[in-house]
A and B are shown apart, each in its own frame.
Chain A
């Protein structure tokens, strides 16, 4: 059963996975391209760290994009077919959803592996100044966690009913309205910042996406 679901999901999302794998492999290599110039003038350590940090902003973006697109591709055909195929199977809903979730995670493995291989290759090729070190495994592990968390979030949203999605949207809308009204009424209430702190700072669910993503660091 899992093989069939995995195969069907692969057909729906292979373009995303393919592009994500190429991007995952290329990103670390591009990020150290300046340092990899072992010729007469490699970058100084400070400049190298700045370059790596600038490129590092793209890892969480790639992780989030992969997570969203694969999560949507996981459920879109089911939604379009009004779940006829799922309902025709002798499986409870939770088990069917679990198979879908697992298949999505398996399909996300190639981009994660690509980041690991690309990062390993990039650090091996680069002329890293003394005192700095490459962290390909730590970076790939963080990328895997970010992809996993993002995928789980958007899987849950995609798997929900329209009513659930509407409720979530309503809550967000209400928060914005309250914030705007509070600002107009000159009330000291900053919900947006509080929510941002709650979600984006540790141990918030999106904290894994934030911070510095450094392939090479001290």
Chain B
């Protein structure tokens, strides 16, 4: 039945000694050894990085005004003057928390704006053309201050770090327009003064039925159609059902979309104005409380920053936003006089000639 070759193979397999697996202790020893090697390699890489950074920074100037520290290569960039203008603003905006930026110097790499030579690779600092004006450079420095790590929940909710601008009026005006025009029942109710709706619209609430609180059935249908109408995929039936007015089909569709893809009623700008409001109400130490490392909900954090309850904070915020209604007319205040002036000028041209047109 078996040929000769097969018999030899079976005999060899039966005669072979059993293989000995490694013991747990041996395995642990090898893993520890690998971990040691890995740690050593990392330490060497860190050392190499540090040496490289030191080598790069050895030729750098250090500009220091207050807690604002700038490391930059030698260039005609007016960093000292810009820092002198930026620091008082930073100190006024952030209060005592501004001292924290000393631990995170701004690294600037001034580059020649006109040269055709390739610029050094980005990575070591911010590349700035050295002919930048003092005003622009001051604004740049104000926008680049680094307070170190921020609470991840706050960062995610805000879409970035809470860096303040000097004039909140334009941002509030933009939020006013959003409050008036956003296709969301929550936003409309918020504008009319419903604080709970504002909390929903600002994504402060983590209620499970947020979708139905953000949008009414017509808005949900519009949103679902916007998201799925062109690419229904496997949802063809639900898309048709939603289109014909079946709200549960629309809800199913929206619920099936990947997390974070459904448009939120108010954007990050609106949330940022709420943070600004909390900081404004919270006094000089407010930013310190905002940066507090203790993990907590955004809602609680903002209440702690403002020093009042969230409802009260939102009510104040809404008042400020309503007061920031943008001026709608495109005509500048002096536009009427300019137009009347041009009318007079052209009328004078018409009256001025002493001749009659005869052909």
Contacts and interface: CB of A to CB of B under 8 A. Distances in A.
Interface of A: 41, 44-47, 49, 75, 79, 82-83, 86-87, 93-94, 97-98, 101, 129-133, 135, 138, 141-142, 145-146, 148-149, 151-153, 155-156, 158-162, 164, 202-203, 205, 207-208, 210-212, 214, 217-218
Interface stretch (B148-156, B248-256, B322-330): B322-330
Interface stretch (B8-16, B73-81, B232-240, B339-347): B339-347
A214 B331 CA distance: 11
Contact of A155 (B176, B326, B334, B350): B350
Nearest to A164: B353
Nearest to B346: A152
A34 to B, nearest CB: 15
Nearest to B184: A44
Contacts of B181: 44-46, 49, 131, 218
B346 A205 contact: yes
A156 B335 contact: no
A45 B180 contact: yes
A44 B180 CA distance: 10
Contact of A87 (B335, B352, B356, B357): B356
Nearest to B179: A131
A141 B352 CA distance: 28
8 contacts: A97-B350, A101-B350, A156-B349, A156-B350, A159-B353, A202-B338, A217-B328, A218-B325
Contacts of B359: 162
B192 interface: yes
B188 interface: yes
A83 B356 contact: yes
A155 B346 contact: yes
B219 to A, nearest CB: 8
Q: Considering residues A83, A129, A141, A207, which has the most beta carbons from chain B within 10 angstroms of its beta carbon?
A: A207
B338 A207 contact: yes
Contacts of A86: 356
B331 A142 contact: yes
Contacts of A145: 335-336, 339-340, 343
Contacts of A132: 180
Secondary structure dominating the interface of A: helix
A162 B350 CA distance: 13
Interface in B220-275: none
A41 B335 CA distance: 38
B44 interface: no
Nearest to A211: B330
Contacts of B354: 93-94
A156 B329 CA distance: 29
Contact of A160 (B188, B191, B332, B353): B353
Most buried by A among B177, B183, B351: B351
B151 to A, nearest CB: 33
Nearest to B348: A156
Contacts of B41: none
Contacts of B51: none
A158 B346 CA distance: 11
Interface string B173-202: 000110111110000100110000000000
Contacts of B335: 145, 202, 207-208
A41 B183 CA distance: 13
Given A93-B355, A203-B338, A218-B176, 16 more contacts: A44-B183, A75-B357, A83-B358, A130-B191, A133-B328, A138-B329, A148-B340, A152-B345, A152-B346, A160-B353, A161-B355, A162-B359, A164-B353, A208-B338, A208-B342, A211-B330
Contacts of B332: 202
B331 A161 contact: no
A159 B330 contact: no
Ranked nearest first, the 3 interchain pairs of A and B with the lowest CB-CB distance are A131-B180, A211-B330, A217-B328
B101 to A, nearest CB: 37
B29 interface: no
A141 B336 contact: yes
Interface in B293-347: 325-326, 328-332, 334-336, 338-340, 342-347
B188 A130 contact: yes
A162 B346 CA distance: 17
Interface in B11-62: none
Contact of B329 (A47, A135, A207): A135
